[in-house]
Amino acid sequence: MRASHPIYGRHANRLSHIQCWLPLTVMRAQHPADALELNSFSERSLGHEAVKTTLFLCTGNYYRSRFAEELFNHRAAQAGINWQAQSRALAIERGINNVGPLSPLALRGLTIRGVSANGRRRPPKQCAILDLENADYIVALNEVEHRSLMRERFPNWESRIHYWGIEDLPVLPADEALALIDAQVEALLTSFRRRQRAG
């Protein structure tokens, strides 16, 4: 069952067509080696609850998904909820002309919001099956771009993830795109917070 969250403010009209889905748990990797591997996707404990992972996907893992990841982690920590975010590229080869490990536009958007980008020095990373298997909730930033990439590269996952409608440059100016991501991340965190409180 899906539910949309109301968005208020000057972005409400643009956001009215974007669905924000309530969390669904996807199957985790069952291979013993996956469970033992100590990487950023391994479950950690927060009190008595395992930390769950949100995975943000975009084309190059340079701009939109990185902004979403950093913003989500900052606000999840502030709220004290048991979720963390990671991000990956669906077609990292298309970002061959990107300069540096993280988009200056994403970094600027985070700085304006008082967020220090902890992963600002890490290069973009290509999505692998293990990333999908180890995530509890998966978002591709733009359905128009990314559904076809999911169908091509991860066909078994196309219908198992959630899609937003955040267009890339130059179609959507950065300030507007980042404001939309901000609103969607906040709505997602609100749904997770409510679910955690409900137990």
Name residues whose C-beta falls within 8 Å of residue 18's C-beta, 6 or more positions apart in sequence.
164, 165, 180, 184
Please give the span between the terminal C-alpha atoms of the chain, in angstroms, as a whole number: 19
At 157, the pLDDT band (50, 70, 90 cuts) reads very high
Which domain CATH number covers 181?
A: 3.40.50.2300
Total length of the chain: 199
7 within domain boundaries = no
At 196, the pLDDT band (50, 70, 90 cuts) reads confident
How many domains does one find in the chain? 1
1 within domain boundaries = no
26 within domain boundaries = yes
Whole-angstrom distance, CA of residue 184 vs CA of residue 18:
9
5 within domain boundaries = no
CA torsion angle 21 25 26 28 (round to 10): 150
2 within domain boundaries = no
In the prediction, which pLDDT does 48 show? 53
**Rama region for 164: left / alpha / beta (φ>0; ψ in -120 to 50; rest):** beta
Print the domain residue range for 145: 12-198
> Tell me: the pLDDT tens digits for 12-29?
444 434 343 333 433 343
In the prediction, which pLDDT does 172 show? 97
4 within domain boundaries = no
42 within domain boundaries = yes
165 within domain boundaries = yes
**CA gyration radius, the chain:** 16
Q: What is the pTM of this model?
A: 0.77
> Tell me: the pLDDT tens digits for 72-95?
999 999 999 999 999 999 999 999
